[in-house]
Amino acid sequence: MKQRFVLDTTALTDLQTREMLEIEDLCQGMRAILELIAESRLHLQISCYVPFPSVYKELHEFAKNNGCDDEIIAMIDTWLVKKTPDRHEVKIPSHIFHEYVSYMRERINKGMTVAEEAIREASMQCLSLDSEIEDNTDREVIGPIVGKFRNKYRSALRYGILDSAPDIDVLLLAKELDAAVVASDYGIQKWAEQLGVRFVPANTFPMMLKEYLRHTPSDGTHQK
């Protein structure tokens, strides 16, 4: 069987992946991964898909916003197969929705606890000040607490959930194509497992392609 992969945006932009490839520049990192995808497509007929327009648009915007040249945009257009997931025909077991609702309730409750702790901390800090509130209280006391709250809240509420349309499109398209998902997002990983979809961490994907290519016959023919 031909290998198929559905790529999340993080498949091309993950920092850990660039570190493993020993590449610092983001655009050069994207180029290196896309070149591996191109070689794998030509020599092994491995297909890499991106949901259209959601993830495709994200990749375009990410490349442009980070100053990547037109060649990288062209490589995205050439070597990644654009496909809109069939949102009407892909069947999702009902127990997945039940579990997702329960999981979301748990994350929301954790987020509420984080908010309560931040409010209490801010109140206690302000009460400990002199009766005359200083002008720099917001900067020195409340500001750091708000910053800490945001980090904790993001971790409590967003970790392990699907919080964007592209995330869902990646999973739906992978389910439709019976393909593997490539991402560094824990939410996508968690729910890929629930859906029975194979998951490939973004930071191991280039190494996987290199290993496939390493075993390609030198004359370009396919092994049986």
Specify the pLDDT at position 57.
96
Specify the pLDDT at position 147.
74
Specify the pLDDT at position 145.
73
Specify the pLDDT at position 224.
38
Q: Which residues contact 33 (CB under 8 A, 6 or more apart)?
A: 11, 12, 17, 21, 205, 206
Domain extent listing, the chain:
4-90+165-214, 94-158
The fold adopted by the segment(s) 4-90+165-214 is Rossmann fold (3.40.50)
- Percentage of residues in the chain having pLDDT higher than 70: 82
CA distance 75 to 84: 19
Specify the pLDDT at position 98.
60
Closest CA to 205 of 48, 44, 24, 1: 48
Query: Helix or strand or coil: residue 180?
Result: strand
Low-confidence ranges of the chain (pLDDT < 70): 1, 94, 97-98, 101, 126-143, 154-163, 218-224
**Helix, strand, coil % in the chain, rounded to nearest 5:** 60, 10, 30
Specify the pLDDT at position 158.
59
Taking CA atoms, 58 is separated from 31, 51, 71, 201, in Å, by 16, 10, 17, 19
